[in-house]
Amino acid sequence: MKLWEKGMKTNEKIDRFTVGNDRELDLVLAEYDVRASKAHANMLGSIGLLTKEENLAMISALDEVHDSIEKGEFTIEGSFEDMHSKIEFLLIQKLGDTGKKIHTARSRNDQVLVAMQLFIKEELQSVKKQVKELFEVLLQLADKNKKVLLPGYTHLQVAMPSSFGLWFSAYAESLIDDLFFVDAALRVADQNPLGSAAGYGSSFPIDREMTTRELNFSTLKYNVVAAQMGRGKVEKAAAVGMAGVASTLSKLSMDICLYMSQNFNFISFPDDLTTGSSIMPHKKNPDVFELVRGKCNVIQALPNELTLLLTNLPSGYHRDLQVTKNSLLPALQELKACLDILTFSLPKAVVREDILEDPKYDLLFTVDALNDLVVQGIPFRDAYKQIALEVEEGKFKFGKDAKHTHQGSIGNLCLQEIRDKMKLIS
């Protein structure tokens, strides 16, 4: 069954190509299509296009479809083009002519728009929840290890003293920035497109404010053409938010891979969180973190992928937009899986507490020594030259006790302030 069938059979090869893997992806979106259909049916009842009895029967039938989805019994067979056609078929099968009325005053275009936006809203809220869980893990690790010093690097050269507290909390605060972008994407998605039909509205006196309330959207996408132009734009906004989170996770995973190597040996994990080699018995590989890095780097490409897909498309619907599902839905699942595995793994991290005993870190405190001279009244440039000469002649000596006290430094991590900042994100 196809919603656009006119009695003429489509070439099977054309059918396979145009449908693609939509049936598989629509199994994820079907519950949102049902939710939107219930709001639409109630609206049709409110304006007299469904009788009270028809409205109640429609809602009851849609509830049955929703139950079958929740139980995992809902399927989209090859004879159906997508979730929309299968759900409408079930309504007709159950209700006869009443079921045929569900498509009144809407198009498959605004059906998929509203289903996608409901899905994106829910998924991004789930991502936010997971990000906040990882954030809390990072802050707890920062507090636990705040006194354990760690060499900081610039250009992959030994630079200045850092600490595990500073390192863990840096990633925690970075996640707040990422959620600003996720929140922006949520605001874009939180606008009801239902009622835009094929992109030009309807001659029926529909009540779009009613469906906005019923579907818990914050506002309406008023202009029907603008609503249709939101297809792809909403997905791209979500992708930008996801890419921000992915960037932070990827960088964190890269640090972990470096720090786990024998050359650094800053951090380790229990054997059951690492994997071995097929021929090298001594290996403990950071496969989990390498995969997070790889998966998140792919997610970072998603905004560009969608940009290229949408480039030069004029207003109105185009079948190109179907491809957005192929990119976004799997990426969301990958991102959530990466967040989950990091939240699971990081609490098991074991940090090394004697890192700075290695002579290679003897020059880590040159800046601290320089600053001490400045405090004693020596001009900065002269102090710089004095320390540089001591380093050159191999005479530099300084204690390995960082005395950094300003906000956000080793000795003043501002963990509570960072936690308070996260609380501002709803």
The CATH number of the domain holding residue 116 is 1.20.200.10
| Whether residues 299 and 365 fall in one domain | no
User: Does residue 191 sit in helix, strand or coil?
Assistant: strand
The pLDDT tens digits for 285-324 are: 788 999 999 999 999 999 999 999 999 889 988 888 888 9
Domain boundary pick from 331, 355, 379: 355
**CATH number of the domain encompassing residue 54:** 1.10.275.10
Q: Give the long-range contacts of residues 297-302, CB within 8 A, separation 24 or more.
A: 297/246, 297/250, 298/331, 298/334, 299/242, 299/243, 299/246, 299/331, 299/334, 299/335, 300/243, 300/246, 300/247, 300/250, 302/239, 302/242, 302/243, 302/327, 302/328, 302/331
* Rounded Cα distance, 109 and 317, in Å: 7
Q: Does any domain span residue 155?
A: no
| Whether residues 338 and 409 fall in one domain | no
| Whether residues 413 and 282 fall in one domain | no
Query: What was the pLDDT predicted at 11?
Result: 53
If we measure between CA atoms, which residue out of 382, 247, 237 comes closest to residue 303?
Answer: 237
| Whether residues 87 and 127 fall in one domain | no
Q: Does any domain span residue 375?
A: yes
pTM score of the predicted model:
0.92
| Whether residues 136 and 227 fall in one domain | yes
Query: What was the pLDDT predicted at 6?
Result: 45
| Whether residues 256 and 328 fall in one domain | yes
| Total number of domains constituting the chain | 3
51 phi/psi in degrees, rounded to 5:
-75, 165
What's the domain range around 417?
Answer: 357-423
Q: Does any domain span residue 152?
A: no
Query: What was the pLDDT predicted at 210?
Result: 98
| Whether residues 190 and 266 fall in one domain | yes
Question: Which segments in the chain show pLDDT lower than 70?
Answer: 1-20, 276-283
Domain boundary pick from 55, 88, 104: 104
| Contact (Cβ atoms closer than 8 angstroms) between residue 172 and residue 144 | no
User: Does residue 11 sit in helix, strand or coil?
Assistant: coil
Q: Does any domain span residue 235?
A: yes
| Whether residues 59 and 72 fall in one domain | yes
